[in-house]
Amino acid sequence: MPIDYAIFLAPAEARVLGSLLEKEVTTPDYYPLSLNALVNACNQRSNREPVMDLDETEVHLALRRLEDIGVAGRARSADGRVTRYEHWLGEAYNFTRAESALICVLLLRGPQTPGELRSRTERLHAFAEIADVLAGLQKLTDRTPSLVAVLPRQPGTKESRYTHLLCGPVESVAPSASPTAFSAPATAHAFVRPSLAPDDPAHEPRIAQLEARVAELEQKLDALNKKFDDLFAD
């Protein structure tokens, strides 16, 4: 049955779910995963932020919670003596391949810019343009409840970052407040979002799209300038 309510995952549960999503695509011959393989996937030193060191007990407890929610658990069609585990997000949310790839990388690596998401989802789904990434993020944002939110742009950066909401909502704070004055719940991301005027949030996806496009054009301009300089270096 499709999920139409908010779920709140602990960090270990988010890592287990993201790892199952990833390995289904990147190592299909070994999916569903055994408990040992899943522990190794959760504790990878690459493509994981932050790096974790979960043991079998912690992963097993996370799996029990995910099974209670209805998003992952013991493989329903697996045979053999070794218990294997799979995710059921296809049933729970009816994701497209693009949406699944975005949620997967957000679960495994935390808040990221559209540019980072485009490069880091290559093994899961090929986005032709930044606009395709933004379209996928918008679909996830428009779901009820929302599964993704845009974070305020950090000082000195050109692109806004996006975060998943499967570990709970992002807290809202006043723009002038110091981030150190707020603490996030244990199951939520440690990021804060300034309160906005009622009509501001509707503009954020469009602003993020324009910012991403500007950043892309600037990169192309830098490359052209370099070629020009090399051409006339002599």
On whether both 37 and 83 belong to a single domain, the answer is yes
On whether both 85 and 128 belong to a single domain, the answer is no
Give the chain's residues under pLDDT 50.
172-200, 202, 232, 234
On whether both 103 and 211 belong to a single domain, the answer is yes
The torsion angles phi and psi of 158, rounded to 5 degrees, stand at -95, -25
DSSP 179: G
Structural domain total, the chain: 2
Residue 4 lies in a domain: no
For the domain that residue 41 is a member of, what is the CATH number? 1.10.10.10
Domain boundary among 58, 93, 128: 93
The number of CA neighbours under 13 Å toward the Cβ of 213 is 9
On whether both 57 and 119 belong to a single domain, the answer is no
**Tokens standing for 197?**
């005027």
Which residue from 135, 108, 104, 112 is spatially nearest to 191, judged by alpha carbons?
A: 112
How many other CB atoms sit within 10 Å of the CB of residue 115? 16
Percent of the chain with pLDDT over 90: 64
- In this predicted model, what pLDDT tens digit does every residue of 37-66 receive, in sequence order? 999 999 999 999 999 999 999 999 999 999
**Tokens standing for 71?**
């998003």
On whether both 125 and 65 belong to a single domain, the answer is no
- In this predicted model, what pLDDT tens digit does every residue of 83-99 receive, in sequence order? 999 999 989 999 999 99
On whether both 145 and 170 belong to a single domain, the answer is yes
